[in-house]
Structure 1
């Protein structure tokens, strides 16, 4: 049995697929998510799993749960900061400030809480790998991307600066920035509007959760002296939108 992998947002999408992939690789798992029923089902299926049913925005609970981990799950070697969301795609003037705050609290502050809680474990062991899930939205602008894109740009820059801070510790840090991928992402973004969510993926090939999980495993299995700083991943069908022009 290998050491422990801690995955946030583990109840669906990239998080669930990564949990399955790392379980096959022989890792014990700490799975964090809001939907306890899903966590329990996944833990029952995979075994060797400790679950944390929590909202990643709950700073006190995150730190308390990490502090009180069972002894056999304290050897955290892998942290996959996957939890995140987009809400709405309105222009800034029309968008909800509450949606903006939820994205900031989840995608930025939640990621920071888990990272800060886990880092002392890794630095004490002088070993570890932190993988932060960014997005092409943090690399390239698109209409309605506003605050979501801003939060993912934070993930990229924080990843780079964290690498600087951790020089000499043996801890690797990578940002993975996916493009179009069919998960529950669009269903959440459009607040349960399945037709609107499905239209995002209509008649095109997209990345799957299993594709991203495979990339994460491949990064982890590289020699420890190799660090992938940032990896931007698009479906072959997706390219940059190009310049927009206002015309009379």
Structure 2
């Protein structure tokens, strides 16, 4: 019986194996890949210029996609929508960056809107609910965020209508109560300035911010103790 070393030597020398009457090794995936590469031509230089259309360097899938920009647009949008909602403007901007023709992009975006994969109104409602409860943002800040994402007008206003004055005041008070303990060692004027500034950055107007800060300080007795003199004039 031929040993392992004999079989290995026969595989290494197919002509010798054929002369001895043994079957040569069946071609494997690597052989097919090699033949495909030889037919397709040499691999392009990754640092060189992109191959020209019709050069034979691109595979069949790339050629099919290039011939059907709507297929490209659909694939890009589906990947972008995986795990997170997107507005129509966000997807349109993405397709433009990927150089998808505008006509094909609009056709796909229209279709996605028809079947509910794009729903700016639902996006706005979810965004407002999440950002108002989680970050304590006021309607002014929420409106600016929606506009940046391409949701404006009636769809944005309907979502923002879910937040009323009392919701804003409650959220502002919660933000101040959460921050106030870290300001116990500064004087009341400094603490007020910092807290009002924090609320302003979250979209609250000056009157509401100042009123909420004063109210929380009075309720908690803030400022009745002597502040640390080393930190009274500390930077924010």
* Structure ranking higher in helix proportion: 2
* Higher-RCO chain (CA-CA 8 Å, sequence separation at least 6): 1
* Structure ranking higher in strand proportion: 1
TM-score, scaled relative to structure 2: 0.22
Which of 1 and 2 has greater Rg? 2
TM-score, scaled relative to structure 1: 0.21
